Structure 1
Amino acid sequence: MATRFDPFHEIDRMLTALSTSSRDAAVMPIDLQRETDHYVLSMDLPGVDPGSIDISVEDRILTIRAERTAPSAEADWLVRERPSGTFARQLTLGQGLALDQISASYADGVLSLTIPVSEQAKPRRIEVAHTTSPSQIGAGASTAGETASTG
């Protein structure tokens, strides 16, 4: 009987074991996009009880915590790849955001945060007023003065 030697099999097995460890429970994938006057942060939290989601902002640090309860420990597990426990993610927010106006919603396992851009940070157009330059005003005054003295 011939056996095939696969040097990567053991490495693959170890990486698979690491990816399902409790360290992986802290990972919460996000998408972040900017729309015209706000940012939208979407975070995958499937199976999380919405009542366990806690969102706070302190010193420009946005903290999101959520918990997925563990299934019955008495079961005879054949495969257990879905992490359970507390998930946490912190993001440092930059200047120019209206932190007091952040809103959140949770639907279909996705947490969505809307983070508005503050009024001071929004782009704005500055109108340019057309005025006569000071050199033209002085030239016009001396011409008027000459006309007055000759007439």
Structure 2
Amino acid sequence: MAMSFDPFSQLDRIAQSLFDTSRQPRMMPVDLSREGDRYLLNADLPGIDPGSIDVDVDGHLLTIRAQRSSGDHTNGRWLLQERPFGGYLRQFTIGDDVDTDGISASYDNGVLSVLIPIAEHAKPRKVSVESAPAEAKAVTA
């Protein structure tokens, strides 16, 4: 029985084991925008179990965590595995202009959307300008 040896697959396997970052949290791409009286943060998390998503606010730190499993292939053998799995983590510093009690999140079609309302005291407002009474303007000679 002849065995075939593919040096490139061995090299690829060695490189993968040396640079394996599956135990470290992965970054998730995000978009952050301001829409009127709120910030909108969208994070790409395709294939994530919604039950594994955790959005946490602790003081001035907003943390998003999620987990993607590698899938169950106990009866098979990986031929190619390029889709990353493991933990995902992003942290954002938020300012005093945010209403932390009003933060909400939803997950749809692989995108986590976090709505971050701006606190009332930080919203722009008009300041009324009052004029002095007419008699106060009169100058006596």
TM-score for the superposition, normalised by structure 1: 0.72
- Segments of structure 2 that go 5 or more residues without pairing to the other structure are 1-11
Q: In the TM superposition, what whole-angstrom CA distance separates every residue of 1:78-98 from its partner, at most 9, and x where no partner exists?
A: 221111111111111122100
- Segments of structure 1 that go 5 or more residues without pairing to the other structure are 1-12, 144-151
Q: Which has the higher helix share?
A: 1
Distance 1:25 1:58, change over 3 A: closer
Aligned to 1:125: 126
Aligned to 1:68: 68
Which residue identity is paired with 2:107?
Y
- Aligned CA RMSD, in angstroms, stands at 2.6
Q: Secondary structure of 1:100's partner?
A: helix
Q: Distance in 2 between matches of 1:124 and 1:37?
A: 12
Q: Distance in 2 between matches of 1:128 and 1:20?
A: 64
1:1-151 pair list within 5 angstroms = 21-22=21-22, 26-74=26-74, 75-132=76-133, 136-137=137-138, 139-140=139-140
Q: Distance in 1 between matches of 2:96 and 2:19?
A: 35
Contact 2:24 2:87 in 1 (8 A): no
Give how far 1:22 is off: 2.5
How many residues align? The count is 126
Which residue identity is paired with 1:87?
Y
Which residue identity is paired with 2:50?
P
Runs of 4+ in 1 over 4 A off after TM superposition: 16-21, 132-135
Give how far 1:25 is off: 5.3
Q: Distance in 2 between matches of 1:98 and 1:43?
A: 20
Distance 1:51 1:113, change over 3 A: same
Task: Name which of structure 1's ranges 109-118 and 70-79 shifts more when overlaid on structure 2.
Answer: 70-79
Task: Name which of structure 1's ranges 77-86 and 36-45 shifts more when overlaid on structure 2.
Answer: 77-86
Distance 1:19 1:124, change over 3 A: farther
TM-score for the superposition, normalised by structure 2: 0.77
